[in-house]
Copies of this chain bind each other. A is one copy, B any other.
């Protein structure tokens, strides 16, 4: 029996589009609003400010050790909402599919999305699918958007880091980037390194309950170095990192040496950087280390008054070097 594949008519908006929704999406993602099959979902929203975000995902390959584009698309948007201190609630999902994609591939992706959404406690409520001719896309691109609510009094933003804040990373660096490049290139260390892709909203809620958090960001594309440069610039603070405090798995370190990468620039998909009031940092760290996605959390540095907008690294051998934002492109299509 030949494998069923996506054809252009699956994107027509007509009968085959409806069948695709019925056969592939509703069985995995069939929330009550999605089943209504209206053009917009209508939803109740708890009080509070709204957080709203979107991300496009073009990761190659679609499946890698530890995750897939579906899990990535859900977690990326959930985590972006969490960086605003929001409780993520509802997600949208839009698919651009290349003609010829096996239906089973789309089903596996939908299953990955469903599992991640269930773990995060979010619901996929609306979606869209377009099909382009063979050669006009590379298999599958997924764009998610998400909404959540922010409780009164919560004010977390990249602008809010202050000199004296401790900088926490919730776990090891670079696992996602190395897992994807391993899967793409068939490198031998692929057997040991798995992507860290995970929804961090529950972990963030625990952090916020444990201490005063000023800024949060997930260091995805561009890695920790780029994320810290962004926050340093937005908050007009300096960041002083301690190289010997950076948690990096031995396998990632070895892979980075082999490939000529700096783990500070390699993407993560299940980590948060937090700027935390110094007096609360031990309490926050203690709580984090009790959590499944925070067991390897570490204090990796501090925010300082000068030099404003710069990130400095105190190296293991005692020197200090400037850590800049990623220049150029390290690993295309990592997310």
Binary per-residue interface labels of chain A (154-195) against chain B in the complex, 1 for a CB within 8 Å, 0 otherwise: 000111000000000000000000000000000000000000
Task: Name the B residues within 8 Å of A42 (CB-CB).
Answer: 49-51, 84, 86, 150, 157
Q: Is the CB of A147 within 8 A of B50?
A: yes
Q: Is the CB of A84 within 8 A of B158?
A: no
A305 sits at the interface (CB 8 A): no
Beyond A132-B138, A325-B14, A332-B132, whether A83 also contacts B39 by CB under 8 A is: yes
Please, how many angstroms separate the alpha-carbon atoms of A297 and B328 in the complex? 53
A153 sits at the interface (CB 8 A): no
Q: Is the CB of A125 within 8 A of B52?
A: yes
Identify which of A36, A40, A86 gathers the most chain B CB atoms within 10 Å of its CB. A40
Q: Is the CB of B45 within 8 A of A329?
A: no
A234 sits at the interface (CB 8 A): yes
8 Å CB interface, A11-66 against B = 11-18, 36-45, 49-58
Task: Name the B residues within 8 Å of A138 (CB-CB).
Answer: 132, 136-137
Q: Is the CB of A53 within 8 A of B150?
A: no
Task: Name the B residues within 8 Å of A302 (CB-CB).
Answer: none
A236 sits at the interface (CB 8 A): no
Stretch at the interface among A220-228, A244-252, A254-262: A220-228
Q: Is the CB of A221 within 8 A of B13?
A: yes
The chain B residue sitting closest to A216, CB to CB, is B39
Q: Is the CB of A328 within 8 A of B136?
A: no
Determine which of B8, B11, B18, B52 lies in contact with A126 in the assembled complex, contact meaning CB atoms within 8 Å.
Answer: B52
Identify which of A56, A135, A324 gathers the most chain B CB atoms within 10 Å of its CB. A56
A280 sits at the interface (CB 8 A): no
Q: Is the CB of A94 within 8 A of B332?
A: no
Please, how many angstroms separate the alpha-carbon atoms of A114 and B12 in the complex? 28
A218 sits at the interface (CB 8 A): yes
A80 sits at the interface (CB 8 A): yes
Please, how many angstroms separate the alpha-carbon atoms of A36 and B90 in the complex? 23
Q: Is the CB of B133 within 8 A of A53?
A: no
Task: Name the B residues within 8 Å of A16 (CB-CB).
Answer: 327-329
Determine which of B36, B45, B137 lies in contact with A49 in the assembled complex, contact meaning CB atoms within 8 Å.
Answer: B45
A330 sits at the interface (CB 8 A): yes
Q: Is the CB of A326 within 8 A of B15?
A: yes
Task: Name the B residues within 8 Å of A90 (CB-CB).
Answer: 50, 52
A93 sits at the interface (CB 8 A): yes
Q: Which residues of A contact B (CB under 8 A)?
A: 7-9, 11-18, 36-45, 49-58, 79-81, 83-84, 86, 90, 92-96, 125-133, 135-138, 141, 143, 145-148, 150, 157-159, 217-218, 220-222, 226, 230, 234, 265, 267, 324-330, 332-333, 335
Q: List 3 A-B pairs, minimum CB-CB distance, nearest first.
A: A13-B221, A14-B326, A145-B145
A-B contact pairs, 26 of them (CB 8 A): A9-B329, A11-B329, A11-B332, A12-B330, A13-B220, A14-B328, A37-B158, A37-B234, A38-B157, A39-B217, A39-B218, A43-B51, A44-B49, A50-B147, A53-B126, A54-B92, A54-B126, A55-B128, A56-B95, A56-B129, A58-B96, A96-B96, A131-B332, A133-B333, A137-B141, A141-B141
